[in-house]
Structure 1
Amino acid sequence: MNRKNKPFESSWTLARVLLASAALLVSGAGYADSSSPASDQTDVTLGLGVGFTPRYMGANNYRSVVLPMLSIQRGVLFADSTRGIGLQWKSSTGLSASAAINYDLGRSDKNTSSRYGSNALKGMGAVEGATVADFTLGQELLPWLSVSGEAELRMAGEHRGNRYRLGFEGIAFHSDTDTVALDLDAHAGDGRYNQTYFGVSDEQSRLSPFAAFRADSGIYAYSAALNWLHTFDAHWSTAVSLTATHYTDQARGSSLVANDAEAMGMAALNYTF
Structure 2
Amino acid sequence: MKEIRVALAILIVLPFSSQAALQNSGSELTIGAASQYAPKYTGSDKYTWQAAPFFEWRSGEWFLNTEKGAGYLHEFNNGLYLGQTLGYSAGRTDEDSWFQEGDKKLRGMGKIKTALTTTSTMGWWMTDWLGFEGNIIAPLTESQGMQYNIKLNAVLFDDDNDTVMVSTERKYGDARFNNTWFGVNNKQSVDSGFRKYSAGGGLNAVDYSINWQHSFNDTWSGYADLRYTTLPERVRHSPVTDKDDYFTFTIGAFYTF
TM-score band, normalised by the shorter chain? Answer: over 0.9
One-letter identity of the residue aligned with 1:146: G
Give 1:130's aligned residue. 115
The one of 198, 202, 205 aligned to 2:182: 198
Q: Which residue of 2 aligns with 1:51?
A: 36
Report what 2:216 is aligned to. 232
Instruction: Supply the distance in 2 between the matched residues of 1:14 and 1:268 (Cα, whole angstroms).
Output: 17
Q: Which residue of 1 aligns with 2:245?
A: 261
> Cα offset for 1:260?
2.3
Q: Which residue of 2 aligns with 1:22?
A: 13
Q: Is the 8 A contact 1:132 1:154 kept in 2?
A: yes
Q: Which residue number in structure 2 is paired with residue 159 of structure 1? A: 143
Task: Tell me which residue corresponds to 1:168.
Answer: 152
- Closer, same or farther: CA 272–77 of 1 in aligned 2, 3 Å: same
SS where residue 13 of structure 2 aligns?
helix
Give the C-alpha shift of residue 21 in structure 1. Answer: 6.9
Q: How many angstroms does 1:142 deviate by?
A: 2.5
Kept in 2: contact 1:200–1:211 (CA 8 A) = yes
Q: Distance in 2 between matches of 1:44 and 1:76?
A: 14
Q: What's the offset of the Cα at 1:30?
A: 2.1
**Partners of 2:145 and 2:159 in 1: how far apart?**
41
**Partners of 2:12 and 2:52 within 8 A in 1:** no
Question: Conserved in 2, the CA contact under 8 Å of 1:123 and 1:204?
Answer: yes
Give the C-alpha shift of residue 134 in structure 1: 0.9
Q: Deviations over 1:191-243 (max 9, x none)?
A: 10000000011221111132210011101111101110001111000010111
The number of equivalent residue pairs is: 253
Query: Distance in 1 between the 2:214 and 2:148 partners?
Result: 30
**1:24 Cα deviation after fit:** 5.3
1:146 corresponds to which of 131, 138, 149:
131
Normalised to the residue count of structure 1, the TM-score between the two structures is 0.88
- Which among 219, 222, 228 is matched to residue 244 of structure 1? 228
Verify the 8 A CA contact 1:58 1:257 in the aligned structure 2.
Answer: yes
Deviations 1:94-130 (A, max 9, x none): 1011111001110011100011111111000001110
% same residue: 26
Superposed CA offset, 1:122-151 (max 9, x none): 000001110000111101122211011011
Partner of 1:9: none
RMSD of equivalent CA atoms = 1.8
Instruction: State how far apart, in whole Å, the 1-side matches of 2:217 and 2:15 are.
Output: 17
2:167 aligned with 1:183: yes
Aligned to 2:62: 77
The aligned residue for residue 75 of structure 2 is 90
CA distance in 1, matches of 2:187, 2:238: 15
| Residue type of the alignment partner of 1:194 | N
Q: Give the match for residue 195 of structure 2.
A: 211
Change (3 A) 1:13 1:241: farther
Structure 1 segments of 4 or more deviating over 6 A? none
Q: 1:56 to 1:251 in 2, by over 3 A?
A: same
The one-letter amino acid of 1:212's match is: K
Alignment correspondent of 2:21:
31
In the alignment, structure 1 segments of 5+ residues that lack a partner are 1-11
Partner amino acid, structure 2, of 1:22: V
Cα offset for 1:55?
1.1
Q: Normalized against structure 2, the TM-score is what?
A: 0.93
Q: Is the CA contact 2:91–2:112 (under 8 Å) kept in the aligned structure 1? A: yes
Following superposition, the deviation at residue 13 of structure 1 comes to 8.2
